[in-house]
Structures are given as C-alpha cells and as structure tokens.
Structure 1
C-alpha cells in the first residue's frame, strides 16, 4: 500500500471518528428531550426498506415518521404490516428536519408497538458502527504498514 493510500485511509478513519464523536456528544436520551410532540393519526402507509429503519405516513399528514430497525424486522412482513394499515395510533415524536420526525413511542390503543429504548438502541449501534469503522481502517493501515516494512 503506498503512502497516499495510507494517508487517505487514515483521513477517512479520522472522519468516521469525528462523526462518531459528534453523534455521541449530541445523543440525547428520550427522558432529556424537551420538544416531544404527541401526534395522533391513522396509519396510511408503512415504508419498509430492505435495510435500515422503517417509517410511516399518516392519512392526514404529509410528514414522514421514522421508526426503528427493530420495528422493520417485527412488523414489515406482509401479514403484520397490512394489519397496521388503517389503525389509529398515538405517537411521541421529535421533529428532526422539515416534514421528518423521529418517533420514540408508537401506541395502538393500549398496545405499545415502539418504545424509546428501541430507538435509542438504533442510535447507539450507529454510533458504535462509526467507531468500529474508524478502528478497522486504522488497523488495516497499521497491518499494511507493518507488512510493507518486513519486505
């Protein structure tokens, strides 16, 4: 591995570390949030990507409500996702950007479908993933540097 490639990989690792630190610093637990809104509505559509977190839209709103990865794995199959369509729900959500909200709690009648711990777990795993990626890139550069010195 040449010196330019090592430098670029180390810069990329530093970038991931920086983003991970910023994510860690700005992570706020649900109990510390001050701008939580209670939103009531009827589920119009579930958005279930193959990877990542699911989201939903309500029948009387143009906003998108981001859910969690666990919600996607639990409710985004043909049987369960169709059962939620048309249901009246109550959400505790925070506006993140324009018409995008992060849902921390989703309830249908008295049944809790999504709780704040699941959302916080997603946020924590994303932050840890950034740290791991930075460590992996640094280890790769160190390994290749060591290997190059032996030759």
Structure 2
C-alpha cells in the first residue's frame, strides 16, 4: 500500500455536497481505502478571480493503484460528477481532484507530475493538507507546516 494525498475542490452547484460525495467516491475506488479527510474550507478563487469561492479539502488514501491508474480513476470520478475539461485552467468546476503526493513516488511526464509542482504556492491546498500531515516532507518543496507558515491564509475559512 502507498499513501496518497488528494486535493478536492468544487465551486459550482452544491460545492459542499460535491466534495463530500467525492470523499465517498474515493473510498470506493478499487484497491484503495480512505484513511483520512481534512475539514472543508471555503476559499477565494485562485488564478481566475471572477468566479465563485471554492470548497476545498484533502483526502488521505492507502492504495495499491499505480500513479497513472489513480489519476485515471480520479478523472473518471470528476466526469461522473459532471466535470467537463474544456482546457480552461483555474476556472470554475463541479469537481476537481488532484494527486498531490504519493509516498516514495516521483513522476514527471505529460500527464502527471508528482509531487504536484505547485503545492508550495497554494494555501487552499496546504491548509487542509496540514490538518492531515503537517510533518509530510514534499521532495524539492519542504515540510507542509513550514510551507503553510510562509503563505497568507487570509480569506480561507474552515467550515463547521
């Protein structure tokens, strides 16, 4: 089993419901078990600012899926939630699932980069990841808690 951390986000429709349903969908993936889920956070949009706020969270999985097989399963989960990938980066979406890190695994190809190369820039990822794994050391980026301490978390709100 490999531990994997998955970022979840949504800002269209019932965003909270989409993220909660995605936790359940992750737990149903083959050869995979959901072992942790962060609190939900309401976060301002990043990249494209003219869109609704997001609900963001992070899931921790134990899986025997290879990185690309896990990616394919996440993309299928997004499609089942109504996600249409139209090429727009950082735009609104019903569901976004990204592999952040898989223990002991590095990948760099046209489909996947692990660990995710921009974790260190994104408070909306680091805040929920810090709830699950503050001491996680991300290769070439640093310790999650240290990375989070260097970012502005203004406007990020933990939801009840």
Q: TM-score, normalised by structure 1?
A: 0.25
**Higher Cα Rg, which structure:** 1
More helix by proportion, 1 or 2?
A: 1
Q: TM-score normalized by structure 2?
A: 0.24
